[in-house]
Copies of this chain bind each other. A is one copy, B any other.
Amino acid sequence: MRENLTQTIEDYLKTIYQFTLEHQRATTNQIAESLGVTPASVTGMLKKLAATEPPLVEYKKHYGVLLTPAGEKIALEIVRHHRLLEMFLVQMLGYEWDEVHSEADRLEHHISEAFEERIAEALGDPQRDPHGNPIPTRELAIQKLNDIPLRSLQPGQKGVVQRVRETDPELLRRVAELGLVPGAHFEVLEYSPLDENLLLAIAGQPVSVVLGKGITNQIFVKAI
């Protein structure tokens, strides 16, 4: 089809994809913040992405953007690369889960389809990455997320961890220490409205812990 996609363009599309998972559209400032560029640069790029044939984004001045099917296809391709790479780094090269994100964020743009295919095969076509994010299939189908932030649970509710935000290594190390990794079971014991802390009993851990929303907002769970 095409082949003139720069790493820059791929990063813009991936970023827009991530934002539109949680909101209906991505705004100029969000994208700028996330990519570490100025809003002016984003506006320029959005106009360009909207002007390609086929267009990669749907863009209306002052209203934000969303991906066209063509743009989403590319974004999912990159997301698949990213998450397969993370899994590969952990499982085959012995990386820790807090070390993989930045490495994958670069490599996702540079591996071939052959490389993608070989690691997928070597890993046995994993469904999720080390942080619990679903991996798009070869055909770029991806499971819908139906988890909720740990923070939204009430005292007495039990749950199981689904995924953890992956961008902050510090957070990931802390979460691993706590044993709150994907698959871990827990029960909310108390909620203190003042400081918005949760008291949590984690299965297999001897003592319960108090967690602020700096953490509970970054962990996504399913209630049971």
Among A75-125, those with CB < 8 Å from B are 89, 92-95, 99, 103, 106-107, 109-112, 114-115, 118-119, 122
Q: What is the size, in residues, of chain A's interface with B at 8 Å between Cβ atoms?
A: 18
The listed residue (B94, B103, B114) touching A112 by CB distance below 8 A is B103
Q: How far is the CB of A214 from chain B (nearest CB, A)?
A: 27
Q: Is the interface of A mostly helix, strand, loop or mixed?
A: helix
Q: How far is the CB of A87 from chain B (nearest CB, A)?
A: 14
**A114 neighbours in B (Cβ, 8 Å):** 95, 99, 103
**A109 neighbours in B (Cβ, 8 Å):** 110
Please tell me how many copies of the chain the complex holds: 2
Decide if A111 touches B107 in the complex (CB within 8 Å).
Answer: yes
The listed residue (B89, B94, B118) touching A93 by CB distance below 8 A is B118
**A118 neighbours in B (Cβ, 8 Å):** 93-95
**A110 neighbours in B (Cβ, 8 Å):** 106-107, 109-110
Once the chains are docked, how many angstroms separate the CA of A10 from the CA of B124? Answer: 35
**A94 neighbours in B (Cβ, 8 Å):** 118, 122
**A107 neighbours in B (Cβ, 8 Å):** 107, 110-111
**A99 neighbours in B (Cβ, 8 Å):** 114
Once the chains are docked, how many angstroms separate the CA of A106 from the CA of B95? Answer: 22
Decide if A122 touches B106 in the complex (CB within 8 Å).
Answer: no
Seed contacts A93-B115, A107-B110; 4 additional CB < 8 Å A-B pairs: A92-B122, A93-B119, A93-B122, A107-B107
